[in-house]
Structure 1
Amino acid sequence: MTTDSRPVQTDGQGAENGHPCPSNADDFFHRGLDLHRQGEADSAISLYLQAISLCPEHVDACFYLALLQRNEGDLAEAARWFDQAHCLLPQEATIVYEQGVTRYSLEQHHMAIEHFKEVLVLDDTHWQAAYNLGTALLAQGNMAEAIQAYHRAAQLNPQDADIHFNLGLACKRAGRLEESMQSYLCAMEIAPDDAEVHYNLALVYKGLGCKDEAIASLEIAVALRPEYGAAHGNLGVLYLDQDRVAEAKACYRKLIELDHNAASARHILAALTGETTAVAPSSYIAELFDSFSGHFEERLLVDLEYRTPWELKSLLLADPAGPQHFARLLDLGCGTGLVGQIFQEISGCLVGVDLSAKMVEAAAAKKVYDHLAVAEIVTFLEQNREPFDLIVAADVLIYVGELDRIFAILATGLAPQGRFLFSTEQMAGQGYQLRPSGRYAHSFSYIEAVAARHGFRILSTQSANIRKEKGAWILGELFLLGF
């Protein structure tokens, strides 16, 4: 998780009047300026406009009218009057700067960037223009130039914490974590009581693998701002990673109290306290996999030695009575598209569905699916009108405890000779169980009973190592079902 950039800064200074105007125009302007300062916006606007009607070249009236219009929220009118002031006095850096601020507020980032660059040509000591140039470039995703602009602002005004904060943010987004850490440390020295600085520094420490330092920074963040939900959430994850379960529980209870990602917090707290719920919340699954999307496959295949899709395919094709090619394949919980890649050669039409928009985006980049959807799987199946010959759920049912609802809708979405192929995490005994990992394990007898209730036959099964967790294998079961 990251924090948005700090707001654009404005110095609010006036411009020198570049053209002589009649004294009565100046009179209207000064009366307007007095009312402006007293907060009488409508009357001030009227007097500024009268000054401009008497003297269209009254640059101060144009400039202060623009400032007032912006303060009143009329950004389009503010931009028009700043442009007019700029035409009258093109070499005045203050006017160009305020043009840039206004264009940024209008989300016209390209124009804002050009204005801020022009300011720096006119006045190379204008640190606010350098700062806001960085902010506009950051909004456009141009990290390299944003970093350069923030460095320039920091050289001009090294004691401004916001500059170092946004420099840290830009470096983090560029993957330059060591530089990001140094920038946040600078911000922390200037603003030691800023919880956001400590929070963002913690995220960088986490990215660098410095988990103790990340925990320490998050603990400071929540001490400074006890209602800081995102910090409590990240702290809970790191506590769990270090098996500090009691402290993690306290974090998730705090999230519930704050009503911050409360559904996910309740799910994790249930898992940690031995309560078995029916299903993981959709919000929990979407957030979990959105957060993994950037490095999901590398972590899954390399760190966790995940091979379940390949093993599922082998189980499917080993069925001597079964088909070897499938006209329509549905990949439930498609993730980044591993199943799509592996099963592409044995399917005619490939459809994927996942709760995580970022996962679906990654799957789309593989260009193996004929159709992709961001949806909850039961909802998707309820709306589906054309049956599938093969439905694959690789590591999907581990986020569902009670399976009757899914099996019921699968029975209506599968073609008469279709196959349902899936994996589970093993457990001894009866029923299903929510584990401390936040995932569910299912007994063989439970799968057998649910399948029978909905007209499925177990065609074949196979025990398998699903993935590694903290260096140890998670034992699972692979199932092939038909009617």
Structure 2
Amino acid sequence: MRMSPHLHSLLQQAISHHQQGRLQQAEDYYVQVLQIDPRQFDALHLIGVIAKQRGDTQSALNFFAKAIAVDAKQAKVHCNLGATFQEIGESAQALACYDLALSLQSDYALAWNNRGNALRELKRYQEALDSFTRAMEIQFNYPEAFLNRGICLQELGEHAQALADFEDAIKLRATYPAAQFARGFSLQQLGLYGEALDAYTLALQTTPSVANLAALHCNRGMVLAKLQRYAEALVDLQQAQALRPDFANAYLQTGHVYRSLQEHEAAILAYQTALALAQDKAQQAQIEYYLASLGAAPTPHAAPATYVKELFDQYAAHFDAHLQTLSYQVPRLLQDALQSCGLTQIERALDLGCGTGLCGDYLTTVAQHLTGVDLSENMLAQARRRNVYQELICDDILHYLAQATPSYDLIVAADVLVYFGRLDDLFGLIKNKLTSGAHFAFSVEESATDESKLQTSQRYAHSASYIRQLARTYGLRLRHFSHHSGRREAQHEVQSLIVVLQKN
């Protein structure tokens, strides 16, 4: 049915106001159109768009449904309906809407891009990457698709690849704070803190979003802390707190900075505030662990698994390079200890907490079959590149040892027991997995007094007498026991014990 000139004029005025961002005037004209023709598709659809822009998702859903009832063959209304579902966390329904839009218009770049976002939320990452790529094939000049594909790659831990997408997005849109923010995050994860700082600073200079400003200040504070520019870090973190007083991570990072400055009372106060604000139980357990390391909470039997996983997931990309700056000696010291015990050829070896595989290069020369176990998938990805393990397993080591795993002729734990306080359960499980006459080689940081002690470094130390007592309790013969500097921390030597025990 042909539209009357008056109705057409009203609709064009509404669209003009809408395009200029004058939402109230546009809505008034759309309402006038609908008073004349309640089934006018464009007015129903676009008044739904205004409701969505205002954050009134229920009204948006209602108007989009009315528009679809008038004309269900318009791809754009299904795409906008999907975007509204996505805003309220209904990613599966959003995906169905995008698929319907694409069935009506297969070259709809926006729908492909939005579909990728829904798939990413559903953790269907490869499909999401394919969807973003399809959007870019249809519309090359599409910075949002490059940004979103990069964020998806971040979810997969592929930060180097993600950087290429962020840089392409910025080439297409020179002032693009979201892309600079995402770029800064990947650089931060790769340990390129100076470059990350530059990216965050550029994002801060242009972002209009208060929520993003708080997150940006927090992240920039984190990289400034990594660069040991602690005073500047505190300024950014305090700015993040001012923008978002309930921002638990900003207080948590403030605690980390004060701990690095040895200002423990200030660190405790910041951690306690973070704990009061934290909603996630795993984060709460981590903060309690930080407080325990400063003597402000009960000491747990071990570090929280989420703490260890997150620590090494973030550390993985630059782990080996960083250890060189710490004069890290533990793998070499364990190798020397095992050689002094005459271990040359065995059938099966287990590398507990194998990390990037620093012990693997040696262990593969003495073992026919080498298994590595670690809680961090990112660390295991680095270990795979060494191509020395026959098997790599992502698991908590206590859980792995408690399962019906094979027995081993050698079990090695390099710099792993520092995340356990009491070692009785671990020793019992390890003894059960050793074949007759097999060896268990490990390191611990040495405590001069307590049997086990959680240090301000958030690592446990153990006394020599406690290790000897455990060996006697579990019937393990002492083959090697020596004191060494395992690494350096804050310009101080960290004293370690290198131990080899043999099952009787």
The TM-score bracket by the shorter chain reads 0.7 to 0.9
Tell me, in whole angstroms, the C-alpha distance in 2 between the residues paired with 1:193 and 1:281: 29
Partner SS, residue 349 of structure 1: strand
**Structure 1 residues 172 and 448, CA gap change in structure 2 (3 angstroms):** closer
**2:408 corresponds to:** 388
**2:446 corresponds to:** 426
- The answer on 1:451 being equivalent to 2:484 is no
What are the superposed Cα offsets for residues 363-388 of structure 1, whole Å, 9 maximum, x if unpaired? 11111111111112121112144211
Cα RMSD for the two superposed structures: 3.2
**1:266 corresponds to:** 288
Q: Aligned partner of 2:430: which letter?
A: L
Q: Aligned partner of 2:445: which letter?
A: E
**Structure 1 residues 428 and 203, CA gap change in structure 2 (3 angstroms):** closer
Asked if 2 retains the 8 angstrom alpha-carbon contact of 1:187 and 1:197, the reply is: no
Asked if 1 retains the 8 angstrom alpha-carbon contact of 2:109 and 2:136, the reply is: no
Deviates more, 1:218-227 or 1:133-142: 133-142
Q: Aligned partner of 1:399: which letter?
A: Y
Asked if 2 retains the 8 angstrom alpha-carbon contact of 1:112 and 1:136, the reply is: no
- The answer on 1:170 being equivalent to 2:192 is no
**Structure 1 residues 203 and 137, CA gap change in structure 2 (3 angstroms):** same
**Structure 1 residues 466 and 183, CA gap change in structure 2 (3 angstroms):** same
Q: What is the CA-CA distance between 1:254 and the residue it aligns to?
A: 2.3
Deviates more, 1:443-452 or 1:36-45: 36-45
Q: What is the CA-CA distance between 1:12 and the residue it aligns to?
A: 8.8
Q: Aligned partner of 1:263: which letter?
A: A
**2:139 corresponds to:** 116
- The answer on 1:308 being equivalent to 2:330 is yes
TM-score when scaled to structure 2? 0.75
**Structure 1 residues 430 and 170, CA gap change in structure 2 (3 angstroms):** closer
Partner SS, residue 461 of structure 1: strand
Q: Aligned partner of 1:310: which letter?
A: R
Tell me, in whole angstroms, the C-alpha distance in 2 between the residues paired with 1:182 and 1:217: 11
Q: What is the CA-CA distance between 1:245 and the residue it aligns to?
A: 1.3
Deviates more, 1:211-220 or 1:190-199: 190-199
Which residue of the other structure, out of 192, 204, 209, is the alignment partner of 1:185? 204
Highest relative contact order (Cα 8 Å, sep 6+), 1 or 2?
Answer: 1
**Structure 1 residues 355 and 190, CA gap change in structure 2 (3 angstroms):** closer
Tell me, in whole angstroms, the C-alpha distance in 2 between the residues paired with 1:299 and 1:267: 24
Asked if 2 retains the 8 angstrom alpha-carbon contact of 1:397 and 1:423, the reply is: yes
Tell me, in whole angstroms, the C-alpha distance in 2 between the residues paired with 1:437 and 1:459: 30
**1:196 corresponds to:** 215
Which residue of the other structure, out of 229, 234, 238, is the alignment partner of 1:210? 229
Q: Aligned partner of 1:421: which letter?
A: A
Alignment of 1:75-154 (within 5 A): 75-78=95-98, 80-81=100-101, 84=104, 100-101=113-114, 105=118, 107=128, 108-117=131-140, 120=141, 129-136=142-149, 138-139=151-152, 141-154=161-174
Q: What is the CA-CA distance between 1:142 and the residue it aligns to?
A: 4.7
**1:414 corresponds to:** 434
- The answer on 1:377 being equivalent to 2:397 is yes
**2:56 corresponds to:** none
Q: Aligned partner of 2:329: which letter?
A: R
Q: What is the CA-CA distance between 1:78 and the residue it aligns to?
A: 4.8
- The answer on 1:225 being equivalent to 2:227 is no
Corresponding pairs, count: 424
Tell me, in whole angstroms, the C-alpha distance in 1 between the residues paired with 2:492 and 2:202: 38
Q: What is the CA-CA distance between 1:100 and the residue it aligns to?
A: 4.9
TM-score when scaled to structure 1? 0.78
Q: What is the CA-CA distance between 1:350 and the residue it aligns to?
A: 0.8
Q: What is the CA-CA distance between 1:197 and the residue it aligns to?
A: 2.4
Q: Aligned partner of 1:233: which letter?
A: L
Q: What is the CA-CA distance between 1:28 and the residue it aligns to?
A: 8.7
Partner SS, residue 329 of structure 1: strand
Asked if 1 retains the 8 angstrom alpha-carbon contact of 2:289 and 2:299, the reply is: no
Which residue of the other structure, out of 406, 422, 430, is the alignment partner of 1:402? 422
Structure 1 stretches lacking a partner, 5+ long: 1-10, 14-26, 53-60, 88-94, 121-128
